Amino acid sequence: MEKTTPYAEMFRLDNFRALVIGAGGIGGEVAQALAAHGAEVVCADRDGSVAATTASAVNGEPLTLDVTDPEAVRQAAHDLGNVDVVVLTAAMNVRKRIVDYSLEEFERVVDLNLKGTFAVIKYFGETMMQRGTGSIIVFSSIRDQVVEPGQSAYSATKAGAVQLVKAAAAEFGAAGVRVNAVSPGVVETPLTNQIKSHPEWYQAYAAKSALGRWSVPSELTGAVVYLASSAASYVTGSNLRVDGGWTAIDGRFTPPH
């Protein structure tokens, strides 16, 4: 039977070692939240300067890591040794309609969002299974369920990532390793500047959620802390939506009373 944690401590991550892959933007906020709850955080990014900046902010350890290189992921899992929590936020999108997509662009999106996710789950899952404990948290998106023009490859990879999470949960569960996903809605980050620069586009996205606004990165961190902690000790194979109600709503028009 799983040992219960006192309620006052169930979200604490003291003595946990966490790895955040994609340490800028949302990942930077996640690293701060994990550290604030007591975790020792390794901050990884393909851009070493981003990893170093976030690591400095949380008194953590920087790591330059490109998850599109499976051997580098395998080596990182080996070198880091005991990691209790892995959070993968790294992803990319090429916003084009299918007929305008090049195969090279499609491959780049798949390489990071799907192949990279597979490599992280595979290699870090393997080390966690050997230890008999661990939590892997993969960032997906509302696009794993609902789409719009120009989101074909991105949506396909995010849906695929959720299925990888479910398969890993089924395969790793007996060894005591949990695997879950977090699916944000629209988030205020530098990557969404293209949308923010078009007021009508920006407002249409805000109006689509039940809360009528965009989120900010800090609003995603509670979901990660929860899934990383003993508060979620019986949660695996789940996809926690932090989307302001976006995927719960059908249509943007409110009928008259």
Confidence category of residue 252, pLDDT binned at 50, 70, 90:
low
Region 134-150: what's the mean pLDDT? 96
The predicted pLDDT at position 195 comes to: 83
DSSP code string of 171-201: HHGGGTEEEEEEEE--B-SGGGHHHHTSHHH
The answer to whether the Cα torsion of 52, 87, 245, 8 is positive or negative is negative
Is the pLDDT reported for residue 69 higher than 80? yes
The predicted pLDDT at position 5 comes to: 83
The answer to whether the Cα torsion of 232, 53, 79, 125 is positive or negative is positive
Report domain extents, the chain: 10-189+216-243
Region 149-167: what's the mean pLDDT? 97
Confidence category of residue 2, pLDDT binned at 50, 70, 90:
low
The β-bridge partners of 96 are 151
Is the pLDDT reported for residue 249 higher than 90? no
Please write the tens of the pLDDT for every residue from 192-212: 777 888 889 899 889 889 999
Q: What are phi and psi of 210, to 5 degrees?
A: -65, -30
The predicted pLDDT at position 197 comes to: 84
Is the pLDDT reported for residue 1 higher than 60? no
CB 195 within 8 A of CB 95: no
Neighbour tally for 28: CB within 10 Å: 24
Mean pLDDT score of the chain? 94
In 3D, which of 25, 35, 58 has the Cα closest to residue 187? 25
Confidence category of residue 3, pLDDT binned at 50, 70, 90:
low
Region 51-69: what's the mean pLDDT? 98
Instruction: Please tell me which of 68-77, 195-204, 247-256 the model is most confident about, judged by mean pLDDT.
Output: 68-77
Pairing of strands 134-139, 17-21: unpaired
Is the pLDDT reported for residue 153 higher than 90? yes
Confidence category of residue 108, pLDDT binned at 50, 70, 90:
very high
In terms of Cβ atoms closer than 10 Å to its own Cβ (0-12, 13-18, 19+), residue 7 is exposed
What architecture is domain 10-189+216-243?
3-Layer(aba) Sandwich (3.40)
Task: Please give the share of the chain, as a percent, with pLDDT higher than 70.
Answer: 97
Q: Which residues are catalytic?
A: 154
